[in-house]
Structures are given as structure tokens and as C-alpha cells.
Amino acid sequence: MKEGGRKQGAPSPCAACKLLRRRCAQDCVFAPYFPADEPQKFANVHKVFGASNVNKMLQELPVHQRGDAVSSMVYEANARVRDPVYGCVGAISSLQHQIDALQTQLALAQAEVVHLRVRQSATLSNHGLSPTSPSTSGSPSSRLMGSQVKPIFDMDMVDQASLGESMWSC
């Protein structure tokens, strides 16, 4: 039977106590969150925050919030190990750049769709046909017209430098 990540009778120190080379007490604040079989989890947290600070943070929190706090510390510590300068902020910033670029691509694609619909509608009305006419939906001329349409908005036409500036103008 396990209790707090340690066997009763033959207590195995949690990852924190093992790394800190101390005896793991029954009421060890680290034991429920840093089991002995996950030593790297505490090692990164210790490297970034320090054992004393982690201990203080956990002691100040109600027990029901400690698990979430440890998860946050582990996430931030792992991000700091990967990127010592920016940590989580670097990952968030990178994702925000991706979102901005994808939103720009989506806006360009939507604008192209609108332009093509207007162009198709104008072409059909010039031929005396309505855009919703069933007779044009599968006709060879409508298929030929669709295949000859070239995109008017292309990523090459957009000034990439101005895109970068507009992302930071918020």
C-alpha cells in the first residue's frame, strides 16, 4: 500500500528529499507532488525556484491548490530549462506569432473568396445567367471559367515587413 508516494514500513524518500539528501518525513510537503520515480521533475523545479522557495510556496497554499501550483512550477521550470532567457513567455510569444500569421493568411483567403464570388457573379450576370442558376452549376463553361481564375491575393503580393510591423502595433 502506498501513501504519499512512499511505501509504509520501508519509507522511500521522495525525489525532493533524495536530491536534497535528507530524511523524508511522514509529513513531507514535497512527497505527494514529487514522487521518487520522477527525479527530474523536482530537479528542474529546484534549479529554477530553489527548494526553500518551493517549500514556502507550498506551505502558504491550501492543500487543495498545491497540486495546481506544483504543475505550474514544473511547467515553468521545464520551459526555463529549454529557454533560460524567456521560459514560458518565449513559448507564448512564438505561439502568438503563429496565430497572427495564420489570421493574416485566413483574412487573405477570405478576401480572395469574396473577390472570386463577386467576379463569378459579374461574369454570370454579363452572360444573362443568375449565379444560383442550376443550369450553370455543372456546365463545362462554368468549370472552364473556374479553372482559368487566378488568385488575385497571393502571399508574394503582401509586403512581409508590413505584416511584421502590424503584428506589434497592438
Give mean pLDDT, residues 90-105.
95
Question: What is the dihedral sign for C-alpha 51, 52, 57, 60?
Answer: positive
Pick the range with the lowest mean pLDDT from 46-55, 103-112, 115-124: 115-124
pLDDT value of position 124: 83
Q: Distance between CA atoms of 89 and 52, rounded to whole angstroms?
A: 24
pLDDT band at 165, cuts 50/70/90?
Answer: very low
For residue 32, the tally of other CB atoms under 10 A from its CB is 17
What is the overall mean pLDDT for the chain? 79
Task: Name residue, grid cell 534549479.
Answer: 47
Percentage of the chain modeled with pLDDT above 90: 61
The confidence score (pLDDT) of residue 132 equals 56
- Report, in this order, helix, strand and coil percent for the chain, each rounded to 5: 65, 0, 35
11-40 per-position pLDDT tens digit: 689 999 999 999 999 999 999 999 999 999
Average pLDDT over residues 143-159: 45
pLDDT of residue 130: 60
- In angstroms, the CA 109 to CA 153 distance is 8
Residue in 117, 111, 108 with CA at minimum distance from that of residue 146: 117
pLDDT, tens only, 33-43 = 999 999 999 99
For residue 160, the model assigns a pLDDT of 45
Query: Confidence band (pLDDT; 50, 70, 90) for 136?
Result: very low
Does the pLDDT of residue 157 top 80, yes or no? Answer: no
Residue 86 per-residue DSSP state = T
Higher pLDDT, 82 or 133: 82
Rounded CA gap, 101 and 79, in Å?
A: 23
Identify whether the C-beta of residue 36 lies closer than 8 Å to the C-beta of residue 24. Answer: no
